[in-house]
Amino acid sequence: MKELLVVDAISVSYGNIRALKEVSMRVYEGDIVCLIGANGAGKSTLLKAIVGLEPLVEGTITFDGETICTANRGRHLTTDLIASRGIALVPEGRRVFADMTVEENLDMGAFLVRDDNLIAQRKEAMYDFFPILGARKRQKTRSLSGGEQQMMAIARALMSGPRMILLDEPGLGLAPLVVADIFEKIDVINKQDGVTVFLVEQNARMALRASKEGYVMENGRIVLSDKAANLLEDEKVRKAYLGE
């Protein structure tokens, strides 16, 4: 299988605090990969680093064989250029444009797309995929429920036509049935549309069940990596993250 994303011994610092410490991982094209860990472990920092929002002090990140992030600032792509390579981030907390309509939010997700017909096609595809968004496309986003806003945040990311989508806590603060629905959508995005998924999620059981490969982060380091099915059976993981 083809390596799509390669994170090679990266470190990120906030002042004197080392938030990520020599983190390495691989994501293969077409897979769903999850990263689990406690609050403050560094999971969101890793996603931000991948899209160029956090500078590296060590290491490199490559996407489809091209260096996109490095401690050498001269070779570090800007976030918009990283997005143009085919990586989309759905940030923690959704970060929707609350005073814009659903349709306007989707247009924002297509800011790199220059073909108006393609933008229109993708919006219709999103309305088909998330029917509630089609029904409410003229509504201000602040009027949507948390689950509907999460669906819209995912749809907005898909408007760029990404090869890989990074999802930061898609189930955060949502009812279990809504979370299950969103995870079903993630599975469809992966299997039917062929989008590679890198998932950060505190619901470790659901994340591992949805994924092929899994990583465990503690205090800014990757401490375990394996097939997700194996991590579900790992005694340390069950005790620390599955409440068993």
Tell me which amino acid residue 231 is.
Answer: L
Residue 244 has what pLDDT? 59
Lowest mean pLDDT across 42-56, 103-117, 216-230: 103-117
Residue 61 has what pLDDT? 96
Residue 178 has what pLDDT? 85
Lowest mean pLDDT across 32-46, 91-105, 134-148: 91-105
Residue 241 has what pLDDT? 83
Distance of alpha carbon 82 from alpha carbon 69, whole angstroms: 9
Query: Long-range pairs for 75-80 at CB < 8 Å and ≥24 separation?
Result: 76/52, 77/52, 78/52, 79/51, 79/52, 79/53, 80/112
Lowest mean pLDDT across 120-124, 144-148, 165-169, 192-196: 144-148
| pLDDT over 90 at 173, yes or no | no
Per residue in 28-70, pLDDT tens? 999 999 999 988 889 999 999 999 999 999 999 999 999 999 9
Residue 58 has what pLDDT? 94
Interval 141-147 mean pLDDT: 84
- 4 DSSP assignment: E
pLDDT: is 24 or 73 the higher one?
24
Residue 242 has what pLDDT? 78
| pLDDT over 70 at 225, yes or no | yes
Question: What domains sit in the chain, N to C, each tagged with a CATH number?
Answer: 1-86+164-179+196-244 (3.40.50.300), 96-161 (no CATH)
Distance of alpha carbon 139 from alpha carbon 159, whole angstroms: 19
Closest CA to 49 of 35, 23, 69: 69
Confidence of residue 171 (pLDDT cuts 50, 70, 90): confident
For residue 135, what are the CA distances in angstroms to 132, 144, 147, 148? 5, 11, 15, 11
Closest CA to 178 of 130, 217, 216, 226: 130
3-state secondary structure of 129: helix
Q: What is the mean pLDDT of the chain?
A: 90
Q: What is the 3-state secondary structure (H, E, C) of 57-122?
A: CEEEEEECCEEEEECCHHHCCCHHHHHHCCEEEECCCCCCCCCCEHHHHHHHHCCCCCCHHHHHHH
Residue 186 has what pLDDT? 93
Lowest mean pLDDT across 92-96, 125-129, 173-177: 92-96
